[in-house]
Chains A and B, each alone.
Chain A
Amino acid sequence: MTASAPFGPGRYSIYTGRATNWPLVAALSAALTVPLLPLGSLSRGGWLDPAGPAIPLLAAAVVVLINVLTGLSVRTAAGPNGVSVHCGMLGWPRRTYRLEEIEHAEVTDLTPSLWRLSLGFWWTPRHTYFTVRTGPALRLTLRTGRSVTITVPDPHTAVAVIRAA
């Protein structure tokens, strides 16, 4: 008994997707921590001594914590309000791209050879990546020339929603 018109003026049709890759987070955490552990074991002195193991171990713990809190999931919502991306348990880093900023949306295939594209959040002056795996991904080309690549579970639906909005 619903009275909604199929294509009423107030109709918002959006796509949401969530992609995770916790093995990648675990591997990254290990890779970032491993160089710091020998520093901790080689150091001499007590815990509070600047030459002691506390500082490298603390740095390792902070790095792992940041990685775990931000890298566990990439949540995307696409629709008339633009494309919003939220990362991790805290929802940060987050970015919303309004529809007016987006010039073009397409599905790209991230190949394993471009290894840096699967490392989570990555920023360069021309490209931004929110990717957690290889394979099909959503690529937005902004009017400023920047390209944003986001790992979404179903990029074709996301592109269809963006083009329809």
Chain B
Amino acid sequence: MVTTMNPAADCPVRFQAVDDRENGANNASTMRWTVDHSSREPLPLQIVACVRQGVASGELAVGEQLPPAAELAAALSVDRNTVLAAYRRLRDDGVLEFRRGRGARVASAVTEPAPVTEAAQTLVAVARRHGLGRHDLIRLIERLT
């Protein structure tokens, strides 16, 4: 069963807590990735969106290691540099951190870039001044996206 929060989302993620510890493994990470080669959206941004959605849904916990770029690229049929660009973008946004010899792992659970959060706060303030409530604002955002 796949649960999606937004029907237009690129990355349907699976909400399921899988506890591997009872079977002896002390670490396990699982993740679904979805990219659309025929979409207008650039592939690195689609991969970035997959990671953000995974972190937001809890599928990727803080400290979990992401697949190496070469392996993920081969599975998704994209170039390795595409995945590296996505990882670098997430590193610059503070979502991932790179460790020498250990690959990329999730650094923090905050996934929204700071400029987006600031713009959203401005939007909320302006909407409040004009008398727009929360539901009106949500409807507006849904119309725009």
Contacts and interface: CB of A to CB of B under 8 A. Distances in A.
B71 A12 contact: no
Interface residues of A, number: 46
Q: Which secondary structure dominates where chain A touches chain B?
A: mixed
B16 A154 contact: yes
A1 B145 contact: yes
B37 interface: yes
B144 to A, nearest CB: 8
B18 A5 contact: no
A150 interface: no
B101 interface: yes
Contacts of B10: 2, 4
Given A1-B145, A4-B41, A14 B75 contact: yes
A81 B77 contact: yes
Contacts of A119: none
A126 B31 CA distance: 30
Interface in A1-31: 1-6, 8-24
B93 to A, nearest CB: 18
A8 B32 contact: no
B25 interface: yes
Contacts of A81: 74-77
B6 to A, nearest CB: 10
